[in-house]
Amino acid sequence: MDKYNFTVGEKFNNYKAVDFLRAVKISKEIIQRLKFGGILVNGVLLNNVNTRLKCGDVVTLKLPEDEQNPYVVPVKGELEILYEDDYLLAVNKPKGMLTHASKSNKAPSLDGIVCGYFDKPFTFRAINRLDRDTSGVMLIAKDMVSACFLGEAMKRGEIKKTYTALVVGKPQKDHFIIDAPIARQSTDGMKRIVSPSGKPSLSECFFVRALENGLSLVDVLLHTGRTHQIRVHLSHIGHPLYADRLYGTAILDKTYFLHAKSLTLTHPFTSQSITLTAPINIDF
């Protein structure tokens, strides 16, 4: 969207414009960026964000056109779209693809393919994060206001994420919860461990089915979003992801299978509940 309208209700009568915008969850960064030429009241450009508003006033945010990130090269590529409207885009990220472009990796990345999907400059605003070897639902905001609202919803835990993992062994229970704090193993490394000094971390797990060779599929609903949380937690209880070299056992020419199966959210502008689901293709 290129503009958003907000009507001043009675409870916000005589609020300063800046305070009203903060009350409707517009970030300080957006207000700062738009305060010189991007905020209108009843169609008239607002010159001072400390101006008092009246009940019934319509505050309009006029968004600037996106600028192409010079480090992201738009490319035409295959993109599996799961959902799209004026505010959101959801795609199924393939396993083995980087979410963000990297100088050390010349293969197409998701941000480049998404930017290449649009016919104009586009800023890639990913709401959730997936590692290179993790596939599944990626949610992308189409503008800074949508990104602001969705990012805050993610921080508040209002966006529910369910993953499917291929694990070693068969869990003893069909439904179990792993409540174990996670911390960095070292300050300069990427590996995480379960530690009393770590941040609270909660994973709710559901046994799906047993497969051949002593492997199983497990669905994991994340109640927190720590780095490598699923991999750390499942390894902690003795069921590491198959072929996970960091938290399990490395297997030649294999990488772990972890798939962002579904993502459920309340649409920030229609208030409808939406569940986005990515088809699973298990290849091990």
For residue 218, what is the domain's CATH number? 3.30.2350.10
- Domain co-membership, 189 together with 245: yes
Is 131 labeled as catalytic in the residue annotation? yes
For 211, residues 6+ apart whose C-beta sits below 8 A from its C-beta are 166, 217
pTM across the whole model: 0.92
pLDDT band at residue 106 under the 50/70/90 scheme: confident
Assigned domain for 275 exists: no
- Domain co-membership, 154 together with 107: yes
Assigned domain for 106 exists: yes
Assigned domain for 278 exists: no
Instruction: Considering the candidates 131, 179, 253, 283, report the single residue annotated as catalytic.
Output: 131
- Domain co-membership, 109 together with 179: no
Whole domain around residue 196: which residue ranges? Answer: 162-260
pLDDT band at residue 69 under the 50/70/90 scheme: confident
DSSP the chain: --EEEEEPPGGGTT-BHHHHHHHTT--HHHHHHHTTTSEEETTEE-S-TT-B--TT-EEEEEPPPP---TT---------EEEE-SSEEEEEEPTT--SS-BTTB-S--HHHHHHHHSSS----EESS---TTEEEEEEEESSHHHHHHHHHHHHTT-SEEEEEEEEES--SSSEEEEE--EEESSTT---EEE-TTSB--EEEEEEEEE-GGGEEEEEEEESS--TTHHHHHHHHTT-PBTT-TTTS---TT----EEEEEEEEE-TTT--EEEEE-------
- Domain co-membership, 100 together with 53: no
pLDDT band at residue 196 under the 50/70/90 scheme: very high
Least confident window among 68-77, 99-108, 140-149, 269-278:
99-108
Q: How many domains does the chain have?
A: 3
- Domain co-membership, 182 together with 233: yes
